[in-house]
Amino acid sequence: MPLPLQKTLSEARSKVLKRLGMGAQGSQTRPSHPLIDEFINQAQQDLYYEADWVDLRKFTEVPLVALQGEYDWPDDALPGQIMRLTVLNEDGREEQLTGDIRPVDRSRNRNLTTGSQPLLYDYHDGILEVLPVPNTDWVTLNVEYIATAPELVEDEDRLAFDSEAIIRMAVVFAKDHYGFDNTKDEARLLNYIRRIVSQQSTGEGFQLGGSQSHYVKRGQNRNRMTNRGRGRKTYFWNENPYS
């Protein structure tokens, strides 16, 4: 069954205005539209890092070339949003690669002229590097990741995932900006998020505050949250960026 279409920016803006008590003002609210749109975009950006949203889950295949170790990284994938990166070995088994290539790894493989099955990967300057370099042309690299959420610009642009969560968070931002009491709205939003967490535990939803898989660094399973969203602010634990 296909996923339901998310709200457009225009529809989300209309809902935010209604929940602010401004829905009946019609065209009089037009000057506030850019600010409301900014709240919606900020809400989408912040919530993006809190879940492996199924709407954004993507798969891509990268054909590997014998003795070539560098490839183009998917344009809509952040390094910390890779869920799994695997390669098919020569007997048809799928093997997961481990992140992080150290200088000693490059040194050990410098004189390997015949190639081998890739075991490690890393990212630098928009390039995906695998090591050892593949020994055959037919090997395929399978990349599973959470795609980036595009910015909402046009009225027809659709929210990237859970419209209700984004709208609720935008309302919290807006009420805080306008000096309205947003205590109940924030509590409802947190309850909504907890409901998604509960769905994840029963296999119905996706996990917030963590990952269904891990961005694996050498010697440990490191939650991908430590590698993504650095420097961001999440409203529930920090200040509202619009206050």
Hunting for tokens 């010697």 — which residue is that? 219
pLDDT digits (tens, 9 = 90+) for 127-169: 999 998 888 877 789 999 999 999 999 999 999 999 999 999 9
The H-assigned helical ranges of the chain are 9-19, 33-48, 103-109, 163-178, 183-201
Position 113 scores a pLDDT of: 63
Position 219 scores a pLDDT of: 34
Question: Which of these ranges, 170-174, 183-187, 195-199, 226-230, has the smallest mean pLDDT?
Answer: 226-230
Provide mean pLDDT across the span 9-27.
Answer: 87
Q: Per the structure block, which two tokens stand in for 143?
A: 């990349």
pLDDT at 86 over 90: yes
Position 153 scores a pLDDT of: 96
User: Comparing 52 with 144, which gets the higher pLDDT?
Assistant: 144
Exposed/middle/buried for residue 49 (C-beta within 10 Å: 0-12, 13-18, 19+): buried
Provide mean pLDDT across the span 72-78.
Answer: 90
Position 22 scores a pLDDT of: 82
What is d(CA 11, CA 117) in angstroms, rounded to the nearest whole number? 49
Contact 238, 118 (CB under 8 A): no
Beta bridge partners of 87: 95, 141
Domain borders along the chain are 9-53+151-213+223-227, 56-146
C-alpha 111, offset from chain centre: 38
Position 200 scores a pLDDT of: 54
- Smallest Cα–Cα separation from 166: which of 50, 54, 12? 12
Provide mean pLDDT across the span 79-99.
Answer: 84
Position 175 scores a pLDDT of: 94
